Amino acid sequence: MAKAKRLGVLTSGGDCAGLNAVIRAVTFRATRTYKWEVFGIRDGTQGLMSRPLDYLKLGHNTFIGDVLRAGGTFLGTTNKGNPFAYPMPDGTLKDRSGDVSDGYHELGLSALIVIGGDGSMRIVRRLAQQGDMKIVGVPKTIDNDVRYTEYAVGFTTAVNTCVDAMDRLAPTAASHHRIMILETMGRDTGHLALNSGIAGGADVILIPEIPYTLAGIVAKIRSVQEEGRNHALIVVAEGCRTEKGEAVTVAQGGGEVRYGGIGQYLSASLASQMNSEIRVTVLGHVQRGGIPSARDRVIASAFGVHAVDLVAQGKFDRMVAWHDRGVIDVPLASVVEGSRVIDPMGAIAQTARGLGIYIGDDPH
Ligand code: F6P
């Protein structure tokens, strides 16, 4: 009897809700339809780098219980272990890319499904080219900034979390006649802030793609007050810059910098011009956790099934994507060329303007 094909699956980069639903769909499709074996690689590419290899054989029984419903990834992940510049205990960086491809071949994999964001896709594509690995990508990220897909797994759950926060901030803002600033994640894009701000009833939404002025924010809050409302909500994406164009970051160990602090900057800059108190909420990693929304589970399932079908058809170096109410696949080479940003004149930005939300100064 011919040996069953062996499929690997791993999660890479920052976690989000819905990753387990992708792993489940990959496992069910591969084992039930194609009778393949499936190996879940632990902690991203790190599991293939480790000796002994760090993996878990997946089957139907893996998903008994609440795995589908749980946030995070039961395989583990990392957004720090780039195999081309792997951080060693002595503080140096080492190229360990060869260990990953050796691990892939040692495990006898026929293909590897990588659930990741654009950064992970860039890394695994390079690994695949160098180490003769067959890769199919599945996009996930709360930032929703992966090119060619309308939705990445995890985005809608994160939007729901932000909206839930706004639903809680609005009544306390009203009770105290305050201005509430909510700082969201999203890295260099404003998908999370803009979608959440519209759904959560913000008066001001600031995103990295559209410049703003402090005077514009003040004018909007004053007009809200003139309309007779004594409180207001401002949503700001972490990647927004100061009015002068400076990034607001927090230094981490090892020279790493991370976004954070734009909410406090706005509060300090607006305080003297406002006759209301201002409070800042930084949602942080709450946005990455939580029970995946039904929408994320559906998208995750569709992605997982399609990714396995691509492997069955021998189509590699591609990423599954959500487009026009269905799943398509696109070349990874085009995906990794850049990030998907908000179109300042696109439908979502225009919706915000149409509602009278201040999202920055009008480009016209
Ligand atoms: O890319 C996802 C994301 O959550 C960003 O929105 C955020 O800037 C970053 O990851 C946070 O990374 P870490 O988990 O390393 O703090």
Give the pLDDT of residue 96.
95
Atom of ligand 1 nearest to the CA of 186: 6
- Cα of 285 vs centre of ligand 1, distance in Å, is 8
Atom of ligand 1 nearest to the CA of 80: 15
Q: Give mean pLDDT, residues 7-12.
A: 98
Active site residue 143: yes
Task: Classify domain 157-289+343-354 at the CATH topology level.
Answer: Rossmann fold (3.40.50)
Shortest-distance Cα residue to atom 14 of ligand 1: 14
Shortest-distance Cα residue to atom 10 of ligand 1: 14
- Cα of 145 vs centre of ligand 1, distance in Å, is 12
3-state DSSP assignment of residue 307: helix
Give the list of residues 6+ apart from residue 8 with CB closer than 8 angstroms, or none. 38, 39, 40, 41, 48, 55, 104, 107, 109, 111, 112, 113
Q: Percentage of residues in the chain with pLDDT exceeding 70?
A: 98
Give the pLDDT of residue 251.
85
Please state the domain extents for the chain.
6-153+292-323, 157-289+343-354
Sign of CA dihedral 290, 294, 297, 303: negative
Paired tokens of 28: 């069910």
pLDDT(283) > 60: yes
Give the pLDDT of residue 1.
56
**pLDDT 10s digits, 295-304:** 999 999 999 9
pLDDT(56) > 80: yes
Where do we find the tokens 């995103």? 207
Q: Are 331 and 312 in contact (CB under 8 A)?
A: no
Q: Percentage of residues in the chain with pLDDT exceeding 90?
A: 93
Candidates 43, 143, 145, 309; catalytic one: 143
Name the pTM for this structure. 0.96
Give the pLDDT of residue 252.
81
Binding site membership of 169 for ligand 1 (Cβ less than 6 Å): no
Topology alike, domains 6-153+292-323 and 157-289+343-354 = yes
Binding site membership of 154 for ligand 1 (Cβ less than 6 Å): no
Paired tokens of 131: 């180490």
Binding site membership of 288 for ligand 1 (Cβ less than 6 Å): yes
Q: Give mean pLDDT, residues 68-84.
A: 94
Binding site membership of 140 for ligand 1 (Cβ less than 6 Å): no
CATH class for the domain made up of 6-153+292-323: alpha beta
Atom of ligand 1 nearest to the CA of 287: 4
